[in-house]
């Protein structure tokens, strides 16, 4: 439809038809034939309201989309199609590793590919919009939703967020297999106090701008189509009612002109936040703040019309919102093809089957690229197929490897660890702890531990981030019998591993690895794949260190080697300040070293960036990939600055005994930071540069910004 046709359609809409577009409900609302019950009854939507609703979230099957769209179009006066949205977070039916695992790859191309493939399958199921990526910055592993994030670093998260958006949306939404992307949750949700989900957030403006905004900015620069509000308050006001946040920051400063959608029920929750007395007031606050779509409450549908008729809200506010919604429907080509991406019923299954067949092998290589080797005392890889391998532990045979947000994923399709290992090892024995004799006779014993999928994700906060005591006991017992222990961890968050790290020779962090998880794990254990992933979040040495992150601010009393025994410095009495495993850390079977580092110049200016070239050597005879990381420290600034910040990362493959050059370009943009006036700029002065394979990388030089 061209713009003037769209305008014409828009002009023919009644007020209630416009208001309808701003509502969103679940498919259950369309499943009531005859008597009205269930959610429709609870929300008291009449059929006029239902058949002018703008979008649906969370369908399960393509047939359901076809049915609902058909029924809807038969009843919608103007034939405006519904838009279908869903949480396609790490795949639709074929499940890739969780986002935190994908972040561990530090590989933007891989993340983009995953987003493209997830789109393909979701589109084949009739979905138009995904509620992904989650760009929330996270520093507290007690918060279950770290699983959905890109980790603790703004730079890494920005790059990955951009990759997701580009992957989902492609070059144009008119192209086949693309989804519109909704970045979430705006803003600050990752700082939920004490890691408790839906809790209060209290962060400074400086902190919001410096750390929480960049990934959203990256999404907007990548032309993301929707932004979802967060459940939390920002400066005391819940995001869905926050004029400053949505109006000033998101619309004006970041220039976002797409759709703002509330999170599920968030408008109604303004009543619980006690800033609105009833749903009418909640409606006014949300619409005035700039929320275009009300997800899963009837607030907008029931009250917006009255506000307009009473002249309390300007019709322009509604017009703008509806125009944005119609524009997206048009960009998706829904007016021409309301069944976008869907095959004729008779070809539907075959089409989805073909997509699954295409995706499944890729889930295996993506998963093996996301496994982080945390410890290895020469026990891995297991070189020969005939090695006697024992397997034990609660995760040994489980199919619960998909993790949260895999609601369409089919667990029965999952390759368990046991099944994966069977493919690689001829003498694999599944043991229980009573098989003392058998455990003692194995060349090595793999102990598979971790969380269940409902222990991380939304509404899955934990106050302790250690493994369950029974699992720790099991490990210790195995270790008593046979010390050649390899621990596999299945989990959605950083775990405090201090109580297990000394009872094994190797630890492989497997996250929730997805559909082909077991096969991917076996690929790494047998050395078919050389691990290359790195931690996107610090692994604390104790829950008491949380929040813990590598880019902490310089304090007035920093701890260092020479003062560590003094009293009045910033430290704990009982443990070190350092995490058990730092951000960016992950081992390889190869042995990499940073060789010569060359600076193209000792000074940098706005028009003259500098290049830093580093030679990466592989000292082993195993080829491998690693992530070369560049950190910068601003020596003197207007406000207290992080001790170092990631400013560049490159994944590089190096042949056995070979070397590769990696070039980083540093521009003045990389040196910009948020000043006390909340403006971003770079200060002249000197900067230290650190390059290496994790956030403890050594200093390699310095330069001056002139």
Q: How far is the CB of 57 from ligand NOJ (least distance, A)?
A: 6
The least distance separating ligand NOJ from the CB of residue 58, rounded to whole angstroms, comes to 6
Mapped onto helix, strand or coil, the DSSP state of residue 136 is coil
Q: Is 369 in the site for ligand NOJ (CB under 6 A)?
A: no
Among 360, 443, 458, 668, binds ligand NOJ (CB under 6 A): 458
- CB count, 10 Å around CB of 274? 8
Backbone dihedral angles phi then psi of residue 544, each to the nearest 5 degrees: -70, -15
CB atoms within 10 A of CB 701: 14
Stretch 111-150: interaction string toward ligand NOJ, x if CB under 6 A: --------------------x-------------------
Q: Tokens 């003392």 appear where?
A: 436
Cβ atoms of 402 and 453 within 8 Å: the answer is: yes
x-or-dash pattern for ligand NOJ, window 41-70, by CB under 6 A?
Answer: ----------------x-------------
* For ligand NOJ, the closer CB: 492 or 518: 492
Q: Which two tokens stand for residue 583?
A: 């951000």
Q: Which residue among 87, 140, 645, 694 contacts ligand NOJ (CB under 6 A)?
A: 87
Which residue is listed with tokens 């591993």?
A: 497
Nearer to ligand NOJ, 405 or 592 (CB): 405
Please tell me the distance from the alpha carbon of residue 621 to that of residue 376, in angstroms, as a whole number. Answer: 17
- Asked whether position 294 contacts ligand NOJ by CB under 6 A, the answer is no
Report the candidate in 7, 74, 26 with the shortest Cα–Cα distance to residue 330. 7
* Cα Dmax for the chain: 82
In the complex with ligand NOJ, the residue whose CB is nearer, 87 or 523, is: 87
CB of 185 to ligand NOJ, least distance (A): 6
Nearest one of 125, 115, 39, 117 to 85, comparing CA atoms: 125
- Least distance CB 524 / ligand NOJ (angstroms): 31
In the shown chain, the binding pattern of residues 3 to 42 toward ligand NOJ, with x for contact by CB under 6 A and - for none, equals: ----------------------------------------
Instruction: Note whether 505 and 377 are within 8 A (CB).
Output: yes
Quick note: the x/- pattern for ligand NOJ over 210-249, rule CB under 6 A, is ----------------------------------------
CB of 439 to ligand NOJ, least distance (A): 43
What is the closest distance, in whole angstroms, from the C-beta atom of residue 458 to ligand NOJ in the complex? 6
Q: Does 263 qualify as catalytic in the annotation?
A: yes
Q: How many CA atoms lie within 13 A of 417 on its CB side?
A: 31
688 SS3 class: strand
The pattern of x and - marking residues 460 through 499 that bind ligand NOJ according to CB under 6 A reads ----------------------------------------
Task: With beta carbons less than 8 A apart as the criterion, state whether 644 and 612 touch.
Answer: no
Which is catalytic among the residues 263, 292, 294, 496?
A: 263
Please enumerate in sequence order all residues whose Cβ is within 8 A of that of 688, keeping only pairs 6 or more positions apart, or say none: 632, 633, 635, 644, 699, 701, 702
- Least CB distance to ligand NOJ at residue 617 (A): 43
50 three-class SS = helix
Instruction: Compute the least distance from the CB of residue 55 to ligand NOJ, in Å.
Output: 12
For ligand NOJ, the closer CB: 94 or 130 = 130
151 Cβ partners below 8 Å, 6+ apart? 100, 103, 138, 157, 535, 536, 537, 583
Give the tokens for residue 397.
């045979």
Nearer to ligand NOJ, 120 or 184 (CB): 184
Residue 706 vs residues 187, 516, 668: alpha-carbon distances, Å: 35, 51, 10
Give the neighbor-by-neighbor strand order of the sheet with 226-229: 259-261, 226-229, 180-186, 129-130, 83-86, 55-57, 23-25, 294-295
Coil, strand or helix: which one is 406?
Answer: coil
Contact 507, 374 (CB under 8 A): yes
Site for ligand NOJ in 636-655 (CB under 6 A): none
Of 86, 79, 117, the closest CA to residue 1 belongs to 79
Nearer to ligand NOJ, 57 or 68 (CB): 57
269 near ligand NOJ (CB under 6 A): no
Other beta carbons within 10 angstroms of residue 187's beta carbon come to 28
Q: Would you say 100 or 308 has its CB closer to ligand NOJ?
A: 100
Return the number of the residue (131 or 664) whose C-beta is nearest ligand NOJ.
131
Name the pairing type of β-strands 610-618 and 659-666. Answer: antiparallel
How many of the chain's residues bind ligand NOJ (CB under 6 A)? 7
Q: How far is the CB of 295 from ligand NOJ (least distance, A)?
A: 7
Candidates 412, 417, 376, 414; CA nearest to 581 is: 376
Nearer to ligand NOJ, 184 or 644 (CB): 184
Instruction: Pick between residue 181 and residue 588 the one whose CB is nearest to ligand NOJ.
Output: 181
Note the Cα 399 to chain centre separation in Å: 22
In Å, what is the CA distance from 292 to each residue of 238, 257, 314, 457, 597?
16, 11, 14, 26, 51
**Looking at beta carbons, which residue is closest to ligand NOJ?**
131
- Which residues 561-620 are close enough to bind ligand NOJ by CB under 6 A? none
Phi, psi (deg, nearest 5) at residue 686: -110, 155
Closer Cβ to ligand NOJ, 80 or 261, answer by number: 261
Q: Is 184 in the site for ligand NOJ (CB under 6 A)?
A: yes
Q: Give the separation between CA 431 and CA 392, rounded to whole angstroms.
A: 5
Q: Which of 84/131 has CB closer to ligand NOJ?
A: 131
Q: Which of 653, 664, 663 is nearest to 618 (CA)?
A: 653
Tokens, residue 441: 């006779």
Q: How far is the CB of 200 from ligand NOJ (least distance, A)?
A: 16
Minimum Å gap between C-beta 87 and ligand NOJ is 5
Phi, psi (degrees; rounded to nearest 5) at 57: -125, 140
Tell the smallest beta-carbon distance from residue 60 to ligand NOJ (Å): 13
Name the burial class of residue 166, with classes exposed (0-12), middle (13-18) and buried (19+) by CB atoms within 10 angstroms of its CB. buried
263 binds ligand NOJ, rule: CB under 6 A: yes
C-beta of 188 vs 381, nearer to ligand NOJ: 188
User: Applying CB under 6 A, does 264 fall inside the site for ligand NOJ?
Assistant: yes
Smallest separation, CB 183 to ligand NOJ (Å)? 11
| Binding status of residue 400 toward ligand NOJ by CB under 6 A | no
Catalytic residues: 263
Residues that bind ligand NOJ (CB under 6 A): 57, 87, 131, 184, 263-264, 458
């Amino acid at each position: 439809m061209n713009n003037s046709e769209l305008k014409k359609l828009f002009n023919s809409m009644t007020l209630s038809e416009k208001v309808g577009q701003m509502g969103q409900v679940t498919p259950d609302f369309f499943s009531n034939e005859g008597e009205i019950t269930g959610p429709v009854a609870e929300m008291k939507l009449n059929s006029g309201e239902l058949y002018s609703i703008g979008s649906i979230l969370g369908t399960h099957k393509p047939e359901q989309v076809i049915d609902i769209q058909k029924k809807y179009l038969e009843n919608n006066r103007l034939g405006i199609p519904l838009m279908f949205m869903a949480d396609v977070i790490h795949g639709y039916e074929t499940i890739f590793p969780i986002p935190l695992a994908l972040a561990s790859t530090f590989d933007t191309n891989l993340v983009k590919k995953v987003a493209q493939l997830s789109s393909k399958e979701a589109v084949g199921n009739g979905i138009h919009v995904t509620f992904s990526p989650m760009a929330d910055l996270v520093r507290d592993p007690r918060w279950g939703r770290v699983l959905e994030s890109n980790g603790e670093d703004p730079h890494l998260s920005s790059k990955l967020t951009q990759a997701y958006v580009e992957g989902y949306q492609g070059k144009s939404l008119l192209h086949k297999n693309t989804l519109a992307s909704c970045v979430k949750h705006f803003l600050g949700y990752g700082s939920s106090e004490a890691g408790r989900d839906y809790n209060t957030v209290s962060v400074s403006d400086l902190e919001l701008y410096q750390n929480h905004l960049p990934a959203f900015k990256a999404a907007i620069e990548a032309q993301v189509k929707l932004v979802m509000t967060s459940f939390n308050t920002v400066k005391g006001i819940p995001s869905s009612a926050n004029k400053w946040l949505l109006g000033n920051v998101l619309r004006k400063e970041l220039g976002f002109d797409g759709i703002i959608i509330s999170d599920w029920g968030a408008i109604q929750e303004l009543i619980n936040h006690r800033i609105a007395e009833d749903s009418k007031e909640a409606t006014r606050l949300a619409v005035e703040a700039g929320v275009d779509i009300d997800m899963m409450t009837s607030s907008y549908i029931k009250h917006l019309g009255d506000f307009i008729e009473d002249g309390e809200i300007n019709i322009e506010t509604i017009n703008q919102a509806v125009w944005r919604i119609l524009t997206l429907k048009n960009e998706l080509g829904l007016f021409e093809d309301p069944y976008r991406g869907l095959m004729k019923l008779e070809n539907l299954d075959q089409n989805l089957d073909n997509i699954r067949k295409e995706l499944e092998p890729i889930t295996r290589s993506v998963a093996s690229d996301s496994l982080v080797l945390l410890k290895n005392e020469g026990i891995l890889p297991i070189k020969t197929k005939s090695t006697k391998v024992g397997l034990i532990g609660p995760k040994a045979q489980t199919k619960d490897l998909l993790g949260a947000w895999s609601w369409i994923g089919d667990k029965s399709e999952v390759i368990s660890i046991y099944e994966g290992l069977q493919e690689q090892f001829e003498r694999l024995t599944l043991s229980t702890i009573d098989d003392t004799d058998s455990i003692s006779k194995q060349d090595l014993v793999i102990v598979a531990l971790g969380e269940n999928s409902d222990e991380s994700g939304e509404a899955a906060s934990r106050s302790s981030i250690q493994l369950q005591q029974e699992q720790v006991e099991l490990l210790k017992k195995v270790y008593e019998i046979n010390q050649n222990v390899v621990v596999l961890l299945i989990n959605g968050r950083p775990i405090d591993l201090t109580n297990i790290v000394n009872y094994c020779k190797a630890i492989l962090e497997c996250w929730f690895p997805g559909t082909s998880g077991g096969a991917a794990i076996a690929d790494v254990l047998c050395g078919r794949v050389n691990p290359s992933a790195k931690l996107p979040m610090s692994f604390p040495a104790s829950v008491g260190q949380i929040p813990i992150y590598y880019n902490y601010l310089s304090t007035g009393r920093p701890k260092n080697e020479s003062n560590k025994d003094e009293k009045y410095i910033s430290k704990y009495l009982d443990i070190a300040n350092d995490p058990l495993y730092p951000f960016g850390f992950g081992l390889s079977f190869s042995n990499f070293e940073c060789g010569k580092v060359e600076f193209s110049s000792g000074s940098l200016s706005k028009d003259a960036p500098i290049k830093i070239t580093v030679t990466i050597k592989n000292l082993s005879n195993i080829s491998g990939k690693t992530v070369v990381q560049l950190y910068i420290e601003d020596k003197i600034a207007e406000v207290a600055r992080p001790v170092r910040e990631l400013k560049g990362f490159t994944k590089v493959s190096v042949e056995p005994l070979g070397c590769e050059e990696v070039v980083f370009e540093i521009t003045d943009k990389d040196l910009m930071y948020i000043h006390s006036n909340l403006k971003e700029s770079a200060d002249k002065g000197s900067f230290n540069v650190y390059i290496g394979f994790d956030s403890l990388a050594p200093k390699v030089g310095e330069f001056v910004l002139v």
